[in-house]
Structure 1
Amino acid sequence: MDMVNVDFELFNYDPQIDFHGVKTLLRQLFDTDAQLFDLSGLSDLIVEQNTIGSTCKVDDKANDAYAFLTVLNASEHRAKQPVAQLIEYLSDRAKASGAPALAEKVPEVLASDKAVVGLVLAERLLNMPAEVIPPMWSMMIDEIEAAVEDKEPYEFTYYLVVSRAYLEVASALDEQRKQKKARGEGGVLQFFHPEDEEMGKFAAAKGTYAFVKEDEAVADSKRAFQEMGVKPQGYMMLIEAGRFQGAVDAVKEFVGSPF
């Protein structure tokens, strides 16, 4: 077996370089519902906030990001269209999730004048090794702590982590599994980001939700998912600020890190 050595590097956001790479990863994160958002406006907000969060790249800063991580202050930016859209969407999807705690807590804290919610957005290419992720989380926590010391608006009471999961359902290529589905079997939840399962143990509320536009999926990639018995879903976790460091530490222990 041939081995290929790849060096991953973390960078702060550069508005002149990272707009398109972040926008592409946001489109992947929100899947079929990406069309509901002003992704250009959201990407602008992320890359302009270049002291919080990071991108992960190979070879050079000028390349597109293979992964990104950021947190946006929902209260600070709620008057801006991209964040207002995201807040409304996450509230609606939480209510429709079927998870009682998620349906109650997420709309409540997003609408509260007292709660300060950090909207955490993270995504990476599907073939990225999970080991590059813990350093991104650790770096972001350090950056948030430094920003709070400088009296910047990052003293959160909650973090709402937006991610993705999928259900193992009847495959279009497997007649037997289709028969199981007809009997009500199957539907095993899996995670595109394996660390989400560990982080979810620290959440005050968590759960999956169906994409609003899932029935409109016609792209080749969506058909490929369906043929392989994979049904993508949104996934979110609401974590109290006091437990967030513990969640990140658990991710580091679970995934490990080459850094």
Structure 2
Amino acid sequence: MVRKRIRDPEVLPEAPAQDADNDSGSDDDVDMVNVEFEWFNFKPDIDFHGVKSLIRQLLDVDSQLFDVSVLADLVLSQPTVGSTVKVDGEETDPYAFLTVLNLREHKDKKPIKDLTEYIISKAKSDPTLNQIADLLSSSAEVGLILAERLINVPGEIAPPMYSMLIDEIEAAVEDKEPYEFTHYLILSKTYHEIASALDQEDAPKSKKSKANRGSKEVFYFHAEDEVLMKHSLASGSYDYTKDEGEGMADSKRAFSEMGVKPQGSMLLIEAAKFEGAVKAISQYLSPPQ
């Protein structure tokens, strides 16, 4: 298993090489790219812009509701809890990150206060998520997990990041730091299929109304979320507050053109079941030896 030193941000691990594409069995059909991913602790002077960009991507259009810069600063203020993943060395921007924030410990800080209020409002909008709203309004110790990666980064990086997080939390608790949680809340993203904007332009009217209904089957941007969901106490998706047209990037318009509608999602896992959930991720996503 990939490891980095837990409490020493200066000592970094050697990371194994990963294939960016799986071999389909034909050299003619697939170009193999050998990529060496490296796991690092957070470095505020290096990682601010990269982490900020990934947080904005995670929160999607609703990132406009928050001070993402301050939230990134808070993430980077915990250098020994959480990880970044890079390809070209420590001085480059991260391709992925994962961390956990104590919602009670930081409850008076504006980005966490705003984010907690947002999560509660979204949880109240769906009966399957009401338990999350109740929990966040109680005295429970909830760790908010934020994790995101660039769209072309393989899911195989997730198991080491989650396994490292467990080790880092254990070390932090031993050091009397506030990471002893009763629950973990994972903020993530899902999507479902809708009518493609491109197809709609040419479709007959009789077919447009049927296509507009789309599909309500849920798909996951992060493959590990499908595993975590099976271990969750509560989980579900929600619509974003901001309209997709408000400040939407060209890449977001491409989703609509392809018939994909992103949504926010949240998963609540009891702390006692978290390690088992992470092991299940490893079994599901770890590359073959």
Q: Aligned in 2, Cα 1:250/1:214: closer, same or farther, shift over 3 Å?
A: farther
State percent identity of aligned pairs. Answer: 56
Structure 1 residues 10-59: Cα deviation after superposition (integer angstroms, max 9, x where no partner) = 00001111111000000100010001011111000101101100000002
Of 138, 157, 160, 2:163 maps to 138
Aligned to 2:254: 224
- Unaligned runs of 5+ residues in structure 1 are none
Q: Which amino acid aligns with 2:196?
A: S
Aligned to 2:101: 72
Q: Which amino acid aligns with 1:163?
A: S
For 1:131 and 1:70, how far apart are their aligned partners in 2? 17
Of 141, 158, 174, 2:199 maps to 174
Aligned to 1:110: 136
For 2:228 and 2:169, how far apart are their aligned partners in 1? 19
- Tell me the TM-score normalized by structure 2: 0.84
Q: Aligned in 2, Cα 1:178/1:54: closer, same or farther, shift over 3 Å?
A: farther
- Unaligned runs of 5+ residues in structure 2 are 1-29
Is the 2:193–2:214 contact (alpha carbons within 8 Å) kept by the matching residues of 1? no
For 2:60 and 2:268, how far apart are their aligned partners in 1? 20
Q: Which amino acid aligns with 2:172?
A: A
Structure 1 residues 101-129: Cα deviation after superposition (integer angstroms, max 9, x where no partner) = 31x2111111112x000000000000001
CA RMSD, Structure 1 to Structure 2 (Å): 1.5
Which is greater in Rg? Answer: 2
* Higher RCO, 1 vs 2 (CA within 8 Å, ≥6 residues apart): 1
For 1:201 and 1:14, how far apart are their aligned partners in 2? 34
Say if 2:128 is the partner of 1:101: yes
For 1:39 and 1:246, how far apart are their aligned partners in 2? 32
Of 14, 31, 36, 2:65 maps to 36
Following TM superposition, by how much is the alpha carbon of 1:222 offset from its aligned partner in structure 2, in angstroms? 2.1
Aligned to 2:117: 88
Specify the SS of the correspondent of 1:17. helix
Alignment of 1:1-259 (within 5 A): 1-96=30-125, 98=126, 100-102=127-129, 104-113=130-139, 115-175=140-200, 178-182=208-212, 184-217=213-246, 218-257=248-287
Structure 1 residues 202-251: Cα deviation after superposition (integer angstroms, max 9, x where no partner) = 11100000000034344322221111000000010011101111111111
Is the 1:71–1:121 contact (alpha carbons within 8 Å) kept by the matching residues of 2? yes
Structure 1 residues 149-175: Cα deviation after superposition (integer angstroms, max 9, x where no partner) = 111100000100000011111111224
Q: Which amino acid aligns with 2:144?
A: L
Q: Which amino acid aligns with 1:111?
A: S
For 2:45 and 2:177, how far apart are their aligned partners in 1? 24
Is the 2:194–2:259 contact (alpha carbons within 8 Å) kept by the matching residues of 1? yes
Q: Aligned in 2, Cα 1:186/1:11: closer, same or farther, shift over 3 Å?
A: same
For 1:11 and 1:185, how far apart are their aligned partners in 2? 41
Following TM superposition, by how much is the alpha carbon of 1:3 offset from its aligned partner in structure 2, in angstroms? 2.0
Count of residues in correspondence between the two structures:
254
Is the 2:231–2:273 contact (alpha carbons within 8 Å) kept by the matching residues of 1? yes
Larger fraction in helix: 1
- Tell me the TM-score normalized by structure 1: 0.94
Aligned to 2:5: none
For 2:86 and 2:218, how far apart are their aligned partners in 1? 30
Structure 1 residues 126-151: Cα deviation after superposition (integer angstroms, max 9, x where no partner) = 00011111000000000001111111
Is the 2:66–2:114 contact (alpha carbons within 8 Å) kept by the matching residues of 1? yes
